[in-house]
Amino acid sequence: MGADQKNTIMDYDTVSLDEEQNAVVIIDQTLLPQTRKLISLKTAQEIWEAIYFLKVRGAPAIGVAAAYGIYVLTAGMPQDSFGEFYREFQRQKEYLDSARPTAVNLSWALNRMEQVCLAGRGLPVAEIRRRLREEAVSIQREDIEVCRAIGEFGLKLVKPGDGILTHCNAGKLAASRYGTATAPIYLGQERGYAFRVFADETRPLLQGARLTAYELCQSGVDVTLICDNMSALVMKKGWVNAVFVGCDRVAANGDAANKIGTSLAAAAARLYGVPFYVCAPTSTIDMATPTGEEIVIEERPAREVTDLWYTHSMAPKEVKVFNPAFDVTDHTLISGIVTEYGVVRAPYKEGFEKIFAAKQNGEKPGRQIL
């Protein structure tokens, strides 16, 4: 389906549920910025491919899409027997979970949905489906609240007129609203902070150029696009006062996996004395993963490097290509991890444990725990 080209990208939900069509509706991010198109996903293959091929991307948005996706698929599952329903639920859950191994929000959201399913054992399948819908809606609502809270805490780390550098897209397009790394920028824009933002283009898939620069421009933010290999120069010139990035998984020790090239920006920031912040909802913090060494790094097709943006291949056909989608920034290079409960600083594991204990006790996003 098309989108009204008179509107801006900020007028559309990144992910939504179309109950009349029993479909997940997403913005096809592979077509941006040239074309704004909404597409409906109705089958398991369509949902899987949308996640794998980055039509929907960004850890929070992937989680919301997975939650709505598994709910949509339950309409085609056996309705008369919980056992048969649950077996098919598990099969589809495992299939969707295989789309992206690094982003923890994918498995996190699907596991939440599975727990609702199991808690409904003994109830009619129709009631279980109703509860699954409510859980998916809650996941999206929580994402909005969490991102705003991250924005409020992040905004306290900078001042009006500051220069901010970001890498990849951890913006509105990567979440339900506000984004994570861009949340302080959007709140600052609303309050007249007049930030100067530098967006790395983010090779090889150019999410910084195609998505971050695009959505910030559409929002009226002062943004300058730079190549990835320019970040150290703008820091050296004193144009950057802070770096905000998102992440797809944070290990218990604070190591953070984010789009490839993030660790280079972190190393440059350390060299030039620029604070480097990772904006991470607690849903991306994986206490079962001790360090970044245990994070599985997704490797993607060679053509993303050699052919994707070119009429003809820009590399020799016989050349070998190494194309990891992410790298891991060592916790020692991170100034703080901005969560919906405040800014965690080293030692990270202790801070995370305090936050999760408070969260277990029912604390809501926005209350500073640390």
Give the integer Cα–Cα distance in Å for 45 and 51.
10
Smallest CA-to-CA distance from 364 within 109, 108, 142 is with: 142
Using CA atoms, how far residue 191 sits from 57, 160, 165, 365, in Å, is: 28, 9, 19, 21
CB burial of 347-364 (b: ≥16 within 10 Å; e: otherwise) equals ebbebbeebeebbeeeee
Residue 21 CB partners (closer than 8 Å, separation 6+): 40, 42
In the structure encoding, which two tokens stand for residue 67, read together? 């939650």
- Active site residue ranges: 248
Lay out the sheet containing 23-27: strands in order across.
Answer: 15-18, 23-27, 38-41
Give, as one character, the DSSP assignment of residue 209: I
**Under 8 Å between Cβ of 25 and 18:** yes
Smallest CA-to-CA distance from 62 within 180, 160, 221, 163 is with: 180
Lay out the sheet containing 326-329: strands in order across.
Answer: 285-286, 249-251, 256-259, 326-329
Give the integer Cα–Cα distance in Å for 245 and 9.
21
The sign one gets for the Cα dihedral 353, 354, 358, 364 is: negative
